[in-house]
Amino acid sequence: MKILDWYILKKFFVTFFFSLIAMTVLVVIVDLSEKTDDFAKTGLSAREIITQYYFGFIPHIDAMLFPLFLFISVIFFTSKMANRSEVIAILSAGVSFKRFLLPYFMAGLFFSGFLWWVNQYILPTANEKWSTFNSRYIDFNYGGYVNTASISNKFFKLDSFAYAGIRYYDTASRSGNTFQVNRFDSTALIYSLSAQGFSWDTAQKNWHLRQVRIRTIDGLRQTLVDSTEMNMKFNFLPEDLKTDAYMKDRMTTPQLTRFIAMEKMRGGEDINSLILEKQNRNAIPVSVLILTIIGATIASHKIRGGSGFHLAIGVVICVIYILVSRFSSVFAMKAQFNPILAAWLPNIFFAFVAYFFYKKAAK
């Protein structure tokens, strides 16, 4: 590490954190102005709103806009360096353009790794706060989504040969009625379990069934077993039955991976959005590194118009990035477009853009 590297890294970090704080304050002010009436209807104190909503909302919005904040920061301080002829002086001293980009690459790699870690394990905890507040107060006021308190007539696969059905289940009490499991071999029904009531046993970590009848079929013979109550383990938990629009945001990546595997086995209809969420947690951090290189190569040239022109170019690139990302996401969820490709398509496109600007700047 040379003095020049530390100089660029210092400017990188200081400019980014200043931009992050300034933009966060701006976003919070705009959000507060839009939701003032909703906050008033909750009857909560200012402290409760801050702790229950904004302690979750701020990490959520910062993580969402993290690549764009960083991209604008890189363009801003690099453009300032170019306008003061610092970049020209560095390159004239014999430093190659590739070597000049090394501190940018290192900083971009650091922020990319940091955002990846946050997305996998930290952000879901923050999402738990703002999503719970949203579903309880904000969405309810607009007559939109209300957190599901119960489900009815739910059918799903337990494994390749077994199917379960639930007539009614209350997610708050973790209990329901009319539960049934049917297991088949390649040609016919071989096992059937029905229970008039069922509930989650927190102590035993399994399901407590009431008024149970088990029917086992072996060719022309069948065996009936009736029981007043029994405990049984199945490969689904109460959390798996509690589905809502914010559920995937609240899960850590290991939890999301497990849930995706279960939904694939059950033939879930919302599987694409779950896969897209998981892939975005990996793809968005990579975009941080790509946008860092694009920002450095664009702003390193001293041109007429200065920082204003560089920032204008940056805004245009940001808009294109958002459009590509949104279009690919919509196609993945609505038109059966491959969700993995949808998550990585913006990075693939902008990797070529980064290479183009790099080759042009290196000349």
Reported as a single tens digit per residue, the pLDDT across 171-197 is 878 899 999 999 988 778 899 999 999
- pTM of the complete model beyond 0.75: yes
In angstroms, what CA-CA distances link 360 with 37, 294, 355? 52, 11, 9
- Nearest partner of 13 among 106, 102, 134, judged by Cα: 106
Q: How far is CA 146 from CA 140, 150, 268, in A?
A: 6, 11, 21
149 vs 260, higher pLDDT = 260
**Per-residue confidence (pLDDT) for residue 327, from 0 to 100:** 81
**Res 196: pLDDT:** 93
Contacts made by residues 204-208, CB under 8 angstroms, sequence distance 24+: 204/231, 206/231, 206/232, 206/233, 206/234, 207/231, 207/232, 207/233, 207/234
Question: Which tokens is 271 given?
Answer: 């599987």
Task: Return d(Cα 314, Cα 108) in angstroms, integer.
Answer: 17
**Type of residue at 328:** S
Average pLDDT, the chain: 85
Q: Where are the domains of the chain?
A: 3-143+270-362, 150-241
- By CB neighbour count within 10 A (0-12 exposed, 13-18 middle, 19+ buried), where does 11 fall? buried
Q: How far is CA 267 from CA 78, 279, 334, in A?
A: 50, 20, 17
337 vs 11: which has the higher pLDDT: 11
Instruction: State the pLDDT at residue 186.
Output: 76
104 in Cβ contact with 292 (< 8 Å): yes
Instruction: Tell me what pLDDT residue 145 has.
Output: 42
β-sheet with 175-184: strand ranges across: 150-157, 162-170, 175-184, 189-201, 206-218, 221-232
Q: What is the pLDDT of residues 22-69, one digit of tens each?
A: 989 999 999 999 888 888 888 888 898 999 899 999 999 999 889 988
pLDDT tens for each residue of 225-274? 999 999 999 888 887 777 666 778 888 899 888 888 877 777 666 788 88
State the Cα angle at 150 between 145 and 153, rounded to 5°: 110
CA distance 219 to 203: 39
Quote the pLDDT of residue 10.
92
**Six-digit token string for 207:** 């399901």
**Which residue in 179, 210, 208 sits closest to 192, CA to CA?**
179
Please indicate whether residue 334 or residue 96 has the higher confidence score (pLDDT): 96
275-319: pLDDT as tens digits: 888 999 999 999 999 999 998 888 888 776 566 777 787 778 888
C-alpha–C-alpha distance, residues 215 and 290, integer Å: 60
Q: Residue 165: which region, alpha, beta or left (left: phi > 0; alpha: psi -120 to 50)?
A: beta
